[in-house]
Structure 1
Amino acid sequence: MWPELETELLAARDLNFRSRPAQALRRFQRLLDRLGKVDPAGLDPQDRARWADATVRSLMGEAFAVQAVSTDLDRALALLDEAGRHAAEAPAAVRGGLPAAVAGYRGLLLLRSGRSEMSLPHFDGALAAAGSATCAVVVPAASATGAAAAEQQTPAPVPDRDLATIHLNRGAALTDLGRLAPALRDYEAAITYARRADQPSIVALALHNIGFVRYALGDLPAALSAMNEARATAPDREDGVLDIGRGAVLFEAGLLEDAERVLAAALRRMRGPGRSLDRAEVEYYRARCLLALDRYDEARRSAAFIRRHDIRGKHGPRIAMARVFELEVDVAQARDATRTGSVVARGLARRRATRALRVAEQVDGAGVVLGRESGGAARLVAAQWYLLAGDLERADAILATLPRGFAGATLTHRVQYYGTVAELAFATGRRAAGLRAVRAGYGLLSAHRARLGAVESIAAAATHAVAIQVVDVRAAVATGRAAAVLDALERGRATGAGAGRLTPSGDAGAASLLTQARGLLAQARHLPAGSADRDRLTDAARALQEQVREHTWVHAGDSDAVRPVTARELRAALAADGRGVVVASLATFGGRVMAVRADAAGTRLLDLGDPAEVAEQVRRVRADLAVTANDLIPAPLRDAARRSLGRGLEWLDATLVLPLRADGPLHVVARHPYLGVPWSAFPSRRGLPTWAKSYLARGHGAPAAGERRVLVAAGPHVAEGAAEALTVGEVWPGSLVLLGEAATTGAVREALATHDVVHLAAHGRHDVANPLFASVDLADGPLFAHELDGMRLPGSVVLLSACEVGASSPRGGGEVLGLTSVLLRLGARAVIASVAPLSDAVAAKVMPRVHAELRAGRPPAAALAEALAGFDEPVPLVCFGGLEGLAP
């Protein structure tokens, strides 16, 4: 009987642990029915001890399952009372451990109902009863001797699995209460006991929770590293629990779409009875993602589910959190509407503010989650509603009640706080105070991004800057001063700018995955387009690429901070330059395309039209360029496309360029969709240097006189690629020319780090959805932007004679990513690349001319302009780079 019963008990306990409480409940009830039919008085001492142990643990398991399935805490605690009576009457052989286990479960049920503070005495009592009042005794000392060693070797009266669980759960309670250092000690103790008991699932949960603590401390790479280790420790755990924290961390990192995807997948695994508590936690973090993605209705539905569940479970802290979040969704949507010209009725705004204050009073003292209460967030919402109502005095009074800097709140809420303080200051005519608040908000984000080590993570950090940048730019526009607008734009753009790690990470795992992905894509390119085998290989490569992305997220940062350029230093630099350079900073704001024009004489603010019309013309021009570059399309269709292209370029020229009155060099600072415009192809820019970048960056100076190291490489299947490479090589005597099998990704990667001029004649691809996997195709497969992350380029000029690799995709916060942007971040002086399809024949004619001008000493933008001046048809090559002459 006993082996079978004990096996069944272990299986039932495992079901609870794997988040299947409904199944566990049925098993525990069957076990208790069987145990109830046994008369313990008739058992020998050993079997009576077994009976007592099985009865107590079955009641404990039933109590846990009952709370999970029905949220009935009282009934669950009653079952634990019964378990406690059996434990007290158990034979001496098990009596020492069972009361401690019951106390630990009582703490767990209180914890799961939001009573974290009440749960701690039960966990403490359980560990004290087990002879382990502190975590320190469970961590073996490497050189313990004498009495200390003997003490460490004394067996605990509670099984290791129980001790691991108690420490794990006490750590969770301490984490909720914001006591992070002792929580970490508990999690380490849980890992020690769980490994001793061969319980990888408990180890995984402890690692996951360590990640949560690192997240609360602001160390996101370390948090993701711990969570990745948790998944590797328990790869067969499919209940979604290990993805809860991971989604929260990705949200905080600004990787909103990735976070939402992870959390949505976790939700799909949480269907079924007894999962509503876990689902409510996932729904909260997913709702925050949905809110940041402006998916307001979905965010509301998630918040409503959380509130309904937590009311049933009487989970005070999370009821408060859900109610406040619903308020946040409403005010965010209203504030978003005002950016496009909508007006919020003042009466409605005041009523919403009053409601937020009433909720704040109701949730005060409801409890904490990760050491944070919800009342402050509700008051921040009230202040925002009063600002919308124009009641500045009340908004000011409410903000004054919040702790300075909103200390202790999440990064998102702290940045919102500074944005709200700035908005109030600007509205009351205190511009200097508003700018101080803006800079404080950006300072928080700067500290946040300083911990990040990958280009993608740094760009994603700008996600949190959107709201504060809107406040900053709106206030600057209200001054009517173009210089103030330029300063505000560049403060925001600098948040996601700059390089990642200063040295390569040496991540062997990521390198191996990239090699595998490259091999699969190299195989796929030999197969017919649309074939099942090609699609299979491509899908497998994409799966590997996603793993590479996850590898890079755990890299800690030592990144360069980007100091935003000001209008004052820009004017000084332009005056010193003496070439008559005009800088045009473009942005969409208030439903219009806005440009700040700057030259040595000063700055001017221009309205360039409707952004929807501009975006549509950009789309048409790119489509026409694709047709004209394709020799397989019939000549009449290409002729029609050329005529359409000419009209589109003339329209964009008249709309975006001619109002700038730039008769000489023009530097464009812009983001999507303006960065993808073929600026050099506009009629008015023929023969004139034109270059672009996503933010106003301090450019690299001209190289010192002397021999320049030049690499030229040709990829496979480019009709005139080898001839183009050889011709370019002739322009630069002594250059290294790689053809055929010699033009490998490794050779080109190595050359990028050491050569002054790099020319790649290859097929290219911009991956819109995953821009860091934009690539150029070489002998052994594609060279991805991702594998350049962490390099340092020596101020080189890189020429990419390939289709579309000059394109870029916007990420959260507006920063753009792609192969070109990565090369610039990593130190390239300039990158010349195509923003649309480029025919091999055109590239073979244009590129040698560009190199001849470069060798003659012309700057990259001027070299491209001169090479294109005598060319009859529009060519979508654009020079990308910073503005030389700005102080570093």
Structure 2
Amino acid sequence: MVTIRRMNENVGMASPEPHPDLLAEAWRLQALGAETMNLGKPAEGAALLRQGLELVGWREREPFHAHPTVRHVTARLLNSLAYAESEQGRHLYGLRLLDLAEPLAADEHRGLILQQRGVVTWKAGRLEESLAWYLQAEPLMERHAPMSMLAIMLLNRSGLQAEIGRFKAARADLKRCIDLAVQHGLPVRLAQAWHSQGNVELYSANIPAALIAYDKALRGYAEHAPDLVPQVLLNKAHALIEVGLFREAARLLDSVIGDYGKSGRTWWALAIVHIHRARIALDLDSPEAALATARRTEEVAHQIGSSFSILHAERLRRQSQLRFGEVSKDFVDQLLRLADQTAAVGVPDDAVLVRTIAARALIRQSRLDAATEMLREPVSRQGFDRQHLPTLRRLARAELAEAEGNPSGALTQLRLGLNDLHRHRSRLGSVEMQAGMSSLGRELAQMGLRLAVDSGRFGTVFSWAERSRAQTFRSTPVRPPENEEAAELLARVRKARDDIREGELAGDDVTDLRAQCRQWEHRLREHSWHSTGSGESVPVVRLGQVHERLASGGQMMVSYVTDRGRLHALVLRDGRNYRVELGGEPEVAEAVRRLHADLTVLTGRRLPEPMTKVVRGSIRNQADRLAELLFRPLLPLLGDRELVIVPTQAMSSLPWGLLPPLSGRPVTVSPSASVWWSAAGRVVARGVGVLLASGPDLVHAERELSEIAGHHTGAEVLQGSDATPAMVLAGLDGVGLAHLAAHGYHEPENVLFSRLDFAGGPLMAYDIAALSRPPAQVTLSACDVGQSTNVTAGEESLGFTAALLHAGTGTVVSSVTKVEHGAAADVMTAYHAGLVAGVSPARALADASLRRPLSPFVCYGAG
């Protein structure tokens, strides 16, 4: 038994060699403390390391005289403790501990201390100094350090290289680290290497590759180091923010906060969690939330002593104040002080971002020369918000140009900013991510549309309306690569959805199954995030091109735009342009909401006749009100022309045929004029054959398909057990016309899983991307699947109908509300009779809908 006492109690005397058991215990505590820190527990690791220092007799403010073997273990304990203190935000104290450790270290351990200096100076924000320490450490560690420690050094240095912008060097370090981890059987280091790979790809703006790497790291951590899972979730949330998937990022951040709250730990990463939360609130235009979250972030950062986090949190608070009007007289001076402090901790581009905010404040104060000077600084995208900085710079330069009386120069800056975002969008394969990118340019788009409206030039307004909406549809569709895990998840989702439907019909409790299904759906969505875009895109259509195509079809267009809460109608007819100012968009949105609610009530359970009359009267009132708001000023221009309508988000799910001026009139609805023009140009002579398919539990399905089949000779008919999702998908691939009669469900919280029920499971919006050739025309005789959900803070919508249009289907006819199946069958049968007679889809639907005056079907796309 070893008596544990201070080894340094005979100061001034020759230091005896320590007992081997005591020395072994000190080394054990050092190894255990270091491993505990690597598992994400710096406070617990620090406590173990201090036990080791107490054991060897070291005290911080006392001379230390010990045998060389004791000095060496003390140096290692101090080296590890320096990291533990830095992890908790005490960077300067960590560097002081390294100063104390260095003279005690054995030659073979000096490389470890140098690399630890690299770590702590990096965390303190001194990036170039950190890299110099790593470069000094490398040859020493190659000669003396264990492979696990050399792998850690390569991991750390790769992250630093990426933050500085040296991506080639960062990837080289990681390749070497992965090779070491595989060769020497180091699973935690391998997971950490994938984690770092994700960070490198995030810094270089390759978000799909970053998410792939993060998911590999998550699997490795889950098996070998579960305490490290929150760290990779934090970085994954950052990647999602960079592409505007704010809701998903917020869910991850909430889970990280929950994990750390349960553990009782206070860690520097919590400040980063709050920083991301504040950024999300700022991007979602929530003034109270943005300010409150930024202030909370400052409190957390001060508690843990992280200078970087403190400065970043203050920047977010200042940015929120500037956007929402809380600006003091010394606001610019405070920002300049903050910029200097940010540069001092080694993050130069974050300092540029702060000065960009200051420039915007100067513009508001009409101090334009000073603002001009600030906006001349170069940008390398090395800061914390890599996409945010160049976008903000474009916005600031546009504001400066406007203040100088140069609106055309302002529009040029805004256009360049949106083009940059679109280039980034075109490299993303996920439709969700493409839609998310629009939110990052929302301020650019709003300012551009405001300047365009103020210019009074119709062509400028039209161009900016097109530039500002439905940007997702401009990206070339990407077919996701085949993946065994995704295929297995898809099979599980179909089975679960089918079991849920059967369980609900039987009156069973399906709560747990529904929760499990949601998890599988989320994992499927994450697989779609891994897809890379082609980089190709469709250009914004020109005004002359639209007029030419309208003339060839005898149509006119009404494109609605919103500026500062007011609606404007852009009317294109007979080669002439008209801009008509309407009322406020909120009133339209409320009328649409009420109309939806009334139609849903009417198609639910059977109502007493008096109640039915009341609801029908309310429907007529809302339809009349919408006609008044949207069309009364346009009536002299409409005549009896066929209409192409480009709605705003507030009216994207409006059943247009219910409005009196549009009853019996062919109407085509499209997300943008560019989408309509492109769809109308490619719909002719594409696709072969007719597919008719029905799902279960539809009383009139057999009659509906039988009557429609009578109009289409040689149609493929899938019913009963033959109408599986796989068979329907196979039939859809490249078909000329498809008619799908099935129960439909729009999922506003999970839009890619809006679905149609078929035998054995659902056909989902997610499935549409797998088609190698989209169908030319599709009719959806189902409830709700014409609806769309605005999935971002921008004007971008997703849903089943949108998925078909994005994939390249020319025309989709679908319902925007619930519809009684007997009514749907009547309308659809008449609709197909019209198609066979040779009329356009829009004309066929207008005529067929007269059979059921409250028909909520809408013709989308080319018409």
Q: CA deviation at 1:810?
A: 0.6
Pick from 857, 860, 874: which aligns with 2:854? 874
Deviations, residues 450-504 of structure 1 (Å, cap 9, x unaligned): 2101222211111112111111100011112333211111012253323554444
Q: CA deviation at 1:3?
A: 7.5
In 1, the alpha carbon distance for the partners of 2:164 and 2:139 equals 21
Matches within 5 A, 1:254-273: 254-271=244-261
Deviations, residues 706-728 of structure 1 (Å, cap 9, x unaligned): 99500000100011112211111
Residues 121 and 702 (structure 1), Cα distance of their counterparts in 2 relative to 1, 3 Å cut: closer
Q: CA deviation at 1:751?
A: 1.6
Q: CA deviation at 1:252?
A: 0.9
| Structure 1 stretch displaced more, 449-458 or 432-441 | 432-441
Pick from 666, 688, 693: which aligns with 2:670? 693
Residues 706 and 591 (structure 1), Cα distance of their counterparts in 2 relative to 1, 3 Å cut: closer
Matches within 5 A, 1:400-799: 401-403=376-378, 410-528=386-504, 533-558=509-534, 560-577=536-553, 579=554, 581-661=555-635, 662=638, 663-696=640-673, 697=675, 698=677, 699-701=679-681, 708-794=688-774, 796-799=776-779
Matches within 5 A, 1:118-137: 118-130=129-141, 132=142
In 2, the alpha carbon distance for the partners of 1:55 and 1:405 equals 42
Deviations, residues 558-611 of structure 1 (Å, cap 9, x unaligned): 16412112333323333344x2x2211113321222221221242222232222
2:331 maps to 352
Pick from 280, 289, 310: which aligns with 2:280? 289
Pick from 108, 117, 123: which aligns with 1:112? 123
| Structure 1 stretch displaced more, 859-868 or 596-605 | 596-605
Matches within 5 A, 1:838-849: 838-849=819-830
Which residue identity does 1:247 align to in structure 2? A
Pick from 76, 90, 96: which aligns with 1:57? 76
Deviations, residues 766-792 of structure 1 (Å, cap 9, x unaligned): 001111111000001111101212534
1:241 maps to 231
1:76 maps to 94
Residue 323 in structure 1 maps to residue 275 in structure 2: no
Residues 168 and 850 (structure 1), Cα distance of their counterparts in 2 relative to 1, 3 Å cut: same
Residue 12 in structure 1 maps to residue 25 in structure 2: no
Residue 821 in structure 1 maps to residue 802 in structure 2: yes
Which residue identity does 2:843 align to in structure 1? A
In 1, the alpha carbon distance for the partners of 2:209 and 2:742 equals 38
In 2, the alpha carbon distance for the partners of 1:35 and 1:442 equals 62
CA contact (8 A) 2:743 2:756 kept: yes
CA contact (8 A) 1:164 1:192 kept: no
Q: CA deviation at 1:677?
A: 0.5
What is the RMSD computed on CA atoms of the aligned residues?
2.8
In 2, the alpha carbon distance for the partners of 1:757 and 1:104 equals 65
CA contact (8 A) 2:737 2:775 kept: no
What is the SS of the residue equivalent to 1:712?
A: strand
In 2, the alpha carbon distance for the partners of 1:604 and 1:732 equals 42
Residues 315 and 621 (structure 1), Cα distance of their counterparts in 2 relative to 1, 3 Å cut: closer
Which residue identity does 2:809 align to in structure 1? A
Residues 704 and 292 (structure 1), Cα distance of their counterparts in 2 relative to 1, 3 Å cut: closer
What is the SS of the residue equivalent to 2:144?
A: coil
CA contact (8 A) 1:691 1:878 kept: yes
In 1, the alpha carbon distance for the partners of 2:250 and 2:174 equals 27
Which residue identity does 2:644 align to in structure 1? H
In 2, the alpha carbon distance for the partners of 1:406 and 1:159 equals 35
What is the SS of the residue equivalent to 1:731?
A: coil
Which residue identity does 2:740 align to in structure 1? L
In 2, the alpha carbon distance for the partners of 1:75 and 1:9 equals 19
What is the SS of the residue equivalent to 2:860?
A: strand
Tell me, which stretches of 5 or more residues in structure 2 are unaligned? 1-20, 59-66
Residues 102 and 427 (structure 1), Cα distance of their counterparts in 2 relative to 1, 3 Å cut: closer
Residue 837 in structure 1 maps to residue 818 in structure 2: yes
1:151 maps to none
Residues 74 and 803 (structure 1), Cα distance of their counterparts in 2 relative to 1, 3 Å cut: closer
What is the SS of the residue equivalent to 1:525?
A: helix
CA contact (8 A) 2:805 2:811 kept: yes
CA contact (8 A) 2:733 2:775 kept: no
In 2, the alpha carbon distance for the partners of 1:379 and 1:5 equals 50
TM-score normalized by structure 2? Answer: 0.89
Deviations, residues 812-868 of structure 1 (Å, cap 9, x unaligned): 211111000110111111100000001011011111110011111111111101112
Residue 279 in structure 1 maps to residue 270 in structure 2: yes
| Structure 1 stretch displaced more, 490-499 or 806-815 | 490-499
In 1, the alpha carbon distance for the partners of 2:125 and 2:305 equals 8
CA contact (8 A) 2:468 2:795 kept: no
What is the SS of the residue equivalent to 2:813?
A: strand
Which residue identity does 1:843 align to in structure 2? A
Residues 382 and 692 (structure 1), Cα distance of their counterparts in 2 relative to 1, 3 Å cut: same
What is the SS of the residue equivalent to 2:581?
A: strand
Residues 866 and 162 (structure 1), Cα distance of their counterparts in 2 relative to 1, 3 Å cut: same
Residues 217 and 407 (structure 1), Cα distance of their counterparts in 2 relative to 1, 3 Å cut: closer
Deviations, residues 335-373 of structure 1 (Å, cap 9, x unaligned): xxxxxxxxx9xxx577534443443345444412xxx43
CA contact (8 A) 2:339 2:354 kept: yes
| Structure 1 stretch displaced more, 421-430 or 836-845 | 421-430
CA contact (8 A) 2:470 2:671 kept: no
In 1, the alpha carbon distance for the partners of 2:57 and 2:630 equals 84
In 1, the alpha carbon distance for the partners of 2:28 and 2:503 equals 53
What is the SS of the residue equivalent to 2:503?
A: coil
CA contact (8 A) 1:445 1:495 kept: no
Q: CA deviation at 1:547?
A: 0.4
Residue 230 in structure 1 maps to residue 230 in structure 2: no
Residues 763 and 83 (structure 1), Cα distance of their counterparts in 2 relative to 1, 3 Å cut: same
What is the SS of the residue equivalent to 2:740?
A: strand
Residues 355 and 55 (structure 1), Cα distance of their counterparts in 2 relative to 1, 3 Å cut: closer
1:212 maps to 199
CA contact (8 A) 2:827 2:852 kept: no
CA contact (8 A) 1:776 1:782 kept: yes
In 1, the alpha carbon distance for the partners of 2:103 and 2:388 equals 48
Which residue identity does 1:621 align to in structure 2? L
Q: CA deviation at 1:305?
A: 4.8
In 2, the alpha carbon distance for the partners of 1:378 and 1:714 equals 58
In 2, the alpha carbon distance for the partners of 1:362 and 1:29 equals 33
